[in-house]
Amino acid sequence: MLSKNSTCISSAAPSCSKCSQWSASEQKNRCKSVGGTKANPYFWRMNKLRLLFSVFFIFVFTSCSDENDHVQESPRSITIVLSKQNSSSSYRHFIEDIDPTIKINWIDAYTTPLSQLTDDLEEADGIILTGGVDIHPGLYGNAYDTVRCGTIDSKRDALETTLLDHALESGTPCLGVCRGLQFMNVYMGGSLHPHLPDTLSDIHRGKDGQSTEHEIYVTKALGAIDINRGNKSATVSNHHQGISRLADNLEAWAIAPDGLIEGIRHPDTTHYPFFIGVQWHPERSDPSGSLATPIGEGFLKAVLNETGVKKNTDTSEILPRVRDSSSTQVIMIDNGLSHKVDIQMH
């Protein structure tokens, strides 16, 4: 008789039902009594479960790691609206060169149908009011003072009114450059010098309407931009108009040697952390200067929501509505006054 722990081997017929399918040699290598570990069903089930769980956790861990790596390597994507794109695409290059890993969806508001632009603005992460032709003087109370203006584009005046409406209602970061700064001021209730050489100086434009350079002095530090009070730097300038009376709900932070206001921002930096305008052209200035690249970096940082407010913030109760309905009428009835003279903004 076989003992309890003896090996079950029989050349004639296996004495263990589990061994009936094996040959004698297989029985010798595999078969033990029911009390042995290899023949124990519970032992095999537990080992299979352990193996399945190990494979499962390895698969999950690997998948999560791959997914996280994919997220980190994927470029961030943002949408920026330009009031009007220029032929050289200098504004696009200016922002894109700051961080090439960011995918930017650019929208040219000037060529976009209004119905589509309304939808695009809901997705916009930032707005840039670019340089360009003169603002209709009727928007700042001098409706008949067009003789000293250059080209006037009433369509653009109306378009940028829509862009600023959205920027102030949503808190979307907004950068105004040259004409953009001027329109911010006019929109908020300020006025302009129609032709600076007649009222202040001629340092802001070179001969034959070409660009020139002059220094800018920073009079107030800005948290949204890495620029300190007292900084000064040469910048590219090309304009014949500028701020005459600063809107009450804007503040100046930079000036030119002749005293012209060159930098403005909204004083409510809680709701409008980046509502900033510059009279010079940072996108065309020396990137090593203290008043060029930091402007783009600050704007891009705000667009990425690192310093900006979340989109769709309800600011309707605190939004200062300073638009004059009569000015809007000037835009609507004066479309035929657009004309060209030698003096233009770029």
d(CA 191, CA 136): 11
Domain of residue 121, CATH code? 3.40.50.880
Catalytically annotated residue among 178, 193, 204, 239 = 178
Query: In this structure, what token pair is assigned to residue 96?
Result: 């894109």
Catalytically annotated residue among 136, 193, 266, 281 = 281
| Residues 103 and 112 sit within 8 Å (Cβ to Cβ) | no
- Look at the alpha carbons of 172, 177, 181, 184 in this order and tell me if their dihedral is positive or negative: negative
What pLDDT score does 204 carry? 92
Domain check: are 81 and 114 in the same one? yes
Domain check: are 56 and 112 in the same one? no
Q: Distance between alpha carbon 109 and the CA centroid of its chain, in Å?
A: 16
What pLDDT score does 289 carry? 82
What pLDDT score does 293 carry? 93
Phi, psi of 135 (to 5 degrees): -85, 140
Domain check: are 54 and 130 in the same one? no
8 found inside a domain: no
Q: Distance between alpha carbon 120 and the CA centroid of its chain, in Å?
A: 14
Domain check: are 57 and 95 in the same one? no
Averages of pLDDT over runs of 10 residues in the chain (346 residues) are: 45 48 53 49 63 62 48 67 95 95 96 95 96 95 83 95 97 97 98 92 87 93 90 91 96 96 96 96 89 94 66 39 34 33 36
Query: In this structure, what token pair is assigned to residue 47?
Result: 């080992």
135 found inside a domain: yes
Cβ atoms within 10 Å of 2's Cβ, excluding its own? 12
84 found inside a domain: yes
Q: Where does a domain end: 24, 46, 74? A: 74
Domain check: are 196 and 271 in the same one? yes
What pLDDT score does 281 carry? 95
Domain check: are 118 and 151 in the same one? yes
Catalytically annotated residue among 31, 195, 204, 283 = 283
35 found inside a domain: yes
Domain check: are 173 and 104 in the same one? yes
Q: Where does a domain end: 74, 95, 125? A: 74
What pLDDT score does 3 carry? 47
141 found inside a domain: yes
Domain check: are 61 and 113 in the same one? no
For the chain, the domain total comes to 2
Instruction: Check if 122 is active-site.
Output: no
What pLDDT score does 344 carry? 36
pTM (2 d.p.): 0.70
Domain check: are 34 and 112 in the same one? no
Instruction: Check if 283 is active-site.
Output: yes
Residue-number span of the structural domain to which 63 is assigned:
15-74
Instruction: Check if 149 is active-site.
Output: no
